[in-house]
Copies of this chain bind each other. A is one copy, B any other.
Amino acid sequence: MGKLISLLKRLPSVGTHGAERMVLWLLRESGGRSVAMDLSGALAVAVEDVGECPVCGFFNMKGGLCACCSDSGRDADSICVVERATDVLPIERCGIYHGLYHCLGGKISPLDGIMPENLSITSLLNRVRERPGCEVILAVGSDVEGEATALYLSEILAPFDCAVSRLAQGMPAGAGLGQADAVTLMRAMEGRKNMLS
């Protein structure tokens, strides 16, 4: 049981106390230990079956294409570039995008030793070359490293036959002006959109 607690503790945002409560719940209170058995089985299956899509880098099953790349109903002329595979999930949840993805595997961050050659950029360029006239949507974060990555990608994509766009920067939904920081306000002002045209 000590080993189980110390393993659960290593999960993101789980502390000692939380791990102990999880073990207690799994073994005593979840009813007949079936949840623990199911979890054990699901973990083993995931380790065995879940891999990386050879095209876009998102999660796939048993070495095939991922759910997006294998879905012929999606718009193959849009490639949304994200930092990590987990960034696909919030975009899918918002439900407005129906194109394909490309996971870079990180963002350019020289301080952490992550340079462009450590990211899946060559495979992105190959995909763009195979799909003339496509749109590449840079959906990287709005932090310094995300900005650097977007700038680098837009420069390297410029000679290709593709449109390159970037997620809008501005006021988050539901926010008043008092809550916005100066940089967000500056970008919102710079990127202001005409309402009448």
Contact = CB atoms under 8 A, between A and B. Distances in A.
A172 B171 CA distance: 6
A128 B185 CA distance: 24
Given A180-B90, A182-B94, A187 B175 contact: no
B173 A181 contact: yes
Number of copies: 2
Contact of A154 (B96, B175, B176, B195): B195
A183 B173 contact: yes
A158 B61 CA distance: 53
B170 A83 contact: no
Interface of A: 82-83, 86-87, 90-91, 93-97, 137-143, 146, 150, 154, 157-158, 163-178, 180-196
